[in-house]
Structure formats: C-alpha cells, structure tokens
C-alpha cells in the first residue's frame, strides 16, 4: 500500500534507519527502506530474529496485523511499546468492549454471539437496528461490518460478519447509534 511507502520514506528522511518486513518479497516499502526482509509480520520468531540481527531500537506496526507481534517483540527486547495484553485487547472488539464494561465506560448495548440463532435473539434483546461485526479486528476494523435494520436483515449481516475470519466465529452485535 502507498501509505507504507510514504511512512517509510518519511522516517528515512528524518535520518532513522529502517528495516522493513513483509511476507511479500516485492513489497513496495522495500524500495525505500534501508533494509528489507521478507518475513510475515505475524511471525513472532521471524521478526524477533530480524530485530536481533539488525539491533533495532523500536518497531512500528503499520497495520493491525503487526500490533501483537510488535508488542511481544518490544517486551522481549525491553523496547518502548504497548503491553502484549493491551495489544491483544485492542485488536479484539469483543475483548475491548468487555474491558470497557469492566472499567465502567459508557457504551452502546452489545452481545457476543457465535450462531445465527444467538444473533437473532441478541438483535431482538438489544433492539433493531443493530450493527454486526466480527469480534476480531486484526486486519482492519471495518471488515465484515454491516447494519441490520430489520429482522430480515439479520441473517445476511450475520453471514457477512461470519465470513471474514475462518478461525474466529465470534460476532459482536451492538446497538446502532446514529
């Protein structure tokens, strides 16, 4: 993506040496980085190896996929960064909402569901319209998000949200605040 090239270019122009990692050996950011390593940003061991090889002083994830890895690497190498538990909470909408609830932070009504029947029940309990979204936000917070205005919309909204992440079937159903 262009934003990664712009970010890397800005950092290198500020005089900071950049080691870019991406699973794509032809990643556009590699052209402007000082060093480039074809390693998936979710590969903790691989990124840790790169960080140790180059003696990095810090890491910046430029998308949701790298947040957890960056937090774990920062902790492992005693670098500035967010705590891995915070990273996990911030990339999981359900955990984030549960955390806010425990902290007493006001928020729209919500339920976490895994089946269409649970989704229908949650939508009726919360009251239509409702927003449905995958619980995970790794890879982008707006993936699989839709509004169910009527009972008839709930099935399509559930299927859309459920289609985003194969390994996580949790769906967040929340009051639609317009």
Averages of pLDDT over each 10 residues, the chain, 178 residues: 87 97 95 96 96 96 90 97 94 92 96 98 98 84 89 96 90 94
Rg, C-alpha atoms of the chain:
19
What is the model's pLDDT at position 176? Answer: 96
What is the model's pLDDT at position 57? Answer: 95
What is the model's pLDDT at position 139? Answer: 66
C-alpha dist (Å) from residue 134 to 78, 95, 120, 176: 33, 12, 15, 15
- H helix runs in 91-135, sequence order: 93-103, 116-126
Give the predicted TM-score (pTM) of the model: 0.80
What is the model's pLDDT at position 2? Answer: 76
């Amino acid at each position: 993506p262009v934003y990664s090239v712009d970010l890397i270019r800005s950092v290198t122009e500020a005089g900071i040496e950049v080691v870019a990692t991406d699973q794509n050996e032809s990643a556009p950011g590699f052209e402007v980085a000082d060093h480039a390593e074809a390693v998936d940003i979710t590969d903790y061991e691989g990124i840790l190896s790169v960080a140790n090889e180059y003696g990095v002083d810090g890491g910046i994830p430029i998308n949701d996929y790298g947040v957890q890895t960056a937090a774990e690497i920062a902790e492992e190498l005693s670098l500035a960064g967010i705590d891995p538990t915070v990273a996990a909470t911030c990339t999981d909408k359900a955990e984030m909402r549960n955390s806010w609830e425990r902290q007493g932070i006001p928020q729209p009504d919500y339920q976490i569901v895994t089946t269409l029947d649970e989704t229908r029940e949650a939508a009726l309990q919360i009251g239509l319209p409702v927003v449905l979204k995958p619980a995970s936000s790794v890879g982008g917070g707006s993936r699989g998000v839709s509004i169910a205005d009527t009972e008839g919309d709930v099935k399509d909204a559930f299927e859309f949200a459920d289609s985003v992440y194969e390994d996580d079937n949790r769906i967040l159903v929340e009051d639609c605040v317009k």
